[in-house]
Amino acid sequence: MTSYTSSLDNEVKIGLVQTSLDPAAAWVETPKMSACEEERAITEIRGFFAAFEQEAPKPDIIVLPELSVPTGFEYQLRNMATKMQSVVIAGLDYRVGRHPSEVHNDALLIVPKRWRGQQMGPRTRVRRIGKTYAAPEEKKNLQAASYEFKEDPSVWLLDGGTIGTFGVMVCYDFLDLERIAMYRGRVHHLFILALNKDANSFRHVAEAVARMVFCNVIICNCGHFGGSLAISPYRLPERRTIYQHTGAGLATGQIITLPVSTLDLHQQGADPHLDGVKVFKSLPPGYNSFLSLVGRSESVSG
Amino acid sequence: MLPRSVETAFLEQRPDLFGNQRRKSADDTEFDRQIYDTEDFTLMITEAQAILAQNQMTVLNHQPRQLIPVQLHDASRLVGAAAPLDEELQ
C-alpha cells in the first residue's frame, strides 16, 4: 500500500475584498479611473485592510477585484502589504504601455518582505500578471476611446511554499481552456480577479474548474455586480461552497479558510477520509494516470 | 554583471574589502543569487531553459504555450519586459 504525506500546511487564510466601484462611472471616455471613484476605491481598500489588521491570525493572501486599485495607489498598497505581512493579489487600473495608445490590464502580485513569519526578500516587491485576452466589450470600449488592449501571453505558476501552488487569472482569461488545461495537476488554488456582470455563469465555470483542475477556485468580483465566491471540490455539497456573496452594489470583505494539505494528499491519490466519509470528490479522468491514448487510437484506425 | 552582482561576489570572495574578515557583519546578500563568472551564468540559464521546456504545452491547433513556474521568494526578484523594477514605481 502506498503511503502519502504532505509537507504543506493544513489551511490557508484568504482575505477577499469587493470594492463597490461602478465601472460606468469609473471609466468615462478614458481608461483612467475617475477621481470620485478613485477616492471611493482608496477609502474602501483602506477600510478593509484596517479591518483585516484587527484579525489574528491575519490573512495570508488578500485578493482585490480586477481594475480595483487606482494606479497612483500602488505604492501605498505595497506599504499596506508590508505592514500586514500578507501577499496581495489585486487588479490594477489600466496602465498605459510603451506606446501612449496601448493599455495593459494587470493583476499586481505584492510579496511582502516578511510573510508567514519568514523573511521573503530584502524588501517588498511587486510583480505584474497581465491579462491575455480582453473581453469583447472591454476591447470595444477601449477601441471607442482610441486605445488598444495590450495582450500579455504569460501564464504564471506561483509556488507559495507550504500554502501550495497557485495561478492567477484576470477575468475573461478564466474562460481560456488552454490555460485551464495548463494548470491541471499543478495547482492547489486558482485566483480569478473579475469585473463581471454575469457572476452566475462564472460560478458554473468555477464549479467545473474546481472539479477538473481539482483545486480551490476563488473568484473575486467587483462589488458593483457582486458574486465573489470560493469553491473547493469537497465531496459533501454543503461544504463545497466555502464562500459566496450575492447582491449588487455592495462593498464587502471576508476572511475565508481553504484546505491545503488534505487537498494535496487527495491530488496525490491518498483519498483522505473524515469521520468515515471521503473528504473530496473523485479525481477527474487522466489526472494522475496517463494512458497512452494515441497508440490505442492507431490500433483502432489500423 | 550588474554592479550589485559584482559587489555581492566580492562580499563573498574578498570580505577584507568590506571590513568583514570574521564574516560576522550583517549583509543583505541572503537573497542574491551568487554568480561569479560566465560559466555560473550559463549553467543557470541552461537550468532555467530546461525547466521552461518541461512546462511548455501544445494544446489547440498545435500552438505552444508556456507555463512559467516561479517561487514566491523569486517572484519578487524577477524583472521582465512587462514588470518594471519596483524602484521605478516609487
Instruction: Inform me whether the C-beta atom of residue A159 falls under 8 Å from chain B C-beta atoms.
Output: yes
Core vs surface per residue B25-63: b (16+ CB within 10 A) or e = eeeeeeebeebeeeeeeeeeeeeeeeeeeebeeeeeeee
Ramachandran area for residue B56 (φ above 0: left; ψ -120 to 50: alpha; else beta): beta
Report yes or no: A109 at the B interface, CB cutoff 8 Å.
Answer: yes
Q: Which three cell numbers stand for residue B17?
A: 574589502
Q: Which amino acid is at B64?
A: P
119-158 of A, contacting B, C-beta below 8 A:
119-128, 130, 152-158
Element (DSSP H or E) covering residue A17: strand A11-18
Q: Does residue A289 sit in helix, strand or coil? A: coil
pLDDT of residue A13: 97
On whether the CB atoms of residues B72 and A161 are closer than 8 A, the answer is: yes
Per residue in A202-230, pLDDT tens?
A: 999 999 999 999 999 999 999 889 889 99
Share of chain B above pLDDT 70, in %: 68
Round the CA-based radius of gyration of chain B to a whole number and report it: 18
Of B68, B72, B73, which is closest to A154 when you measure between CB atoms?
Answer: B68
**pLDDT 10s digits, B37-57:** 788 889 989 998 998 888 888
pLDDT in tens, A107-127: 999 999 899 988 888 789 899
CA distance A158 to chain B (A): 5
Q: First CA to last CA across chain B, in angstroms? A: 25
Q: Are A133 and A151 in contact (CB under 8 A)?
A: yes
Q: Which residues of B touch A149 (CB under 8 A)?
A: none
Q: A110: closest CA among A132, A134, A82?
A: A82
A-B Cβ pairs (cutoff 8 Å, strict): 89
Residue B69 to residue A182, Cβ atoms within 8 A: no
On whether any CB of chain B is under 8 Å from the CB of A100, the answer is no
- Tell me whether residues A157 and B67 touch, CB distance under 8 A: yes
Are A159 and B70 within 8 A, CB to CB? yes
User: At residue B86, does pLDDT exceed 50?
Assistant: no
Instruction: Indicate if the pLDDT at residue B15 is higher than 90.
Output: no
Confidence of residue A256 (pLDDT cuts 50, 70, 90): very high
Distance CA(A247)–CA(B29), nearest Å, equals 49
* Cα→Cα distances A197→A10, A105, A144, A149, Å: 34, 18, 20, 20
Return the residue in B7, B8, B58, B72 with the most chain A beta carbons within 10 A, the one to mutate for interface testing: B72
CA–CA separation, B77 and B31 (whole Å):
9
Interface contact A115-B72, CB threshold 8 A: yes
Residue A18 and residue A221 in contact, taking contact as beta carbons nearer than 8 Å: yes
Using a CB-CB cut-off of 8 Å, the residues of chain B touching A126 are 76, 86, 89
Q: Model confidence at B77, in pLDDT bands (50, 70, 90)? A: low
Q: How far is CA A245 from CA A17, A18, A218, A225, A250, in A?
A: 11, 9, 12, 10, 10
Residues of B in contact with A156 (CB under 8 A): 67-68, 70, 75
Whole-model pTM?
A: 0.87
As a whole-number percent, the residues of chain A with pLDDT over 90 amount to: 65
Q: Report yes or no: A66 and A95 within 8 Å, Cβ to Cβ.
A: no
Strands ordered across the beta sheet of A102-104:
A95-96, A102-104, A148-149
Please tell me the distance from the alpha carbon of residue A86 to that of residue A12, in angstroms, as a whole number.
11
Q: Report d(CA B4, CA A143) in Å as an integer.
A: 43
Q: Give the mean pLDDT of B56-63.
A: 76
Of A9-13, A19-23, A152-156, A273-277, where does the model show the most confidence? Answer: A9-13
Cα distance from B54 to chain A (closest Cα, Å)? 12
Answer whether A58's CB lies under 8 Å from A84's CB. yes
Cα of B38 to nearest chain A Cα, Å: 25
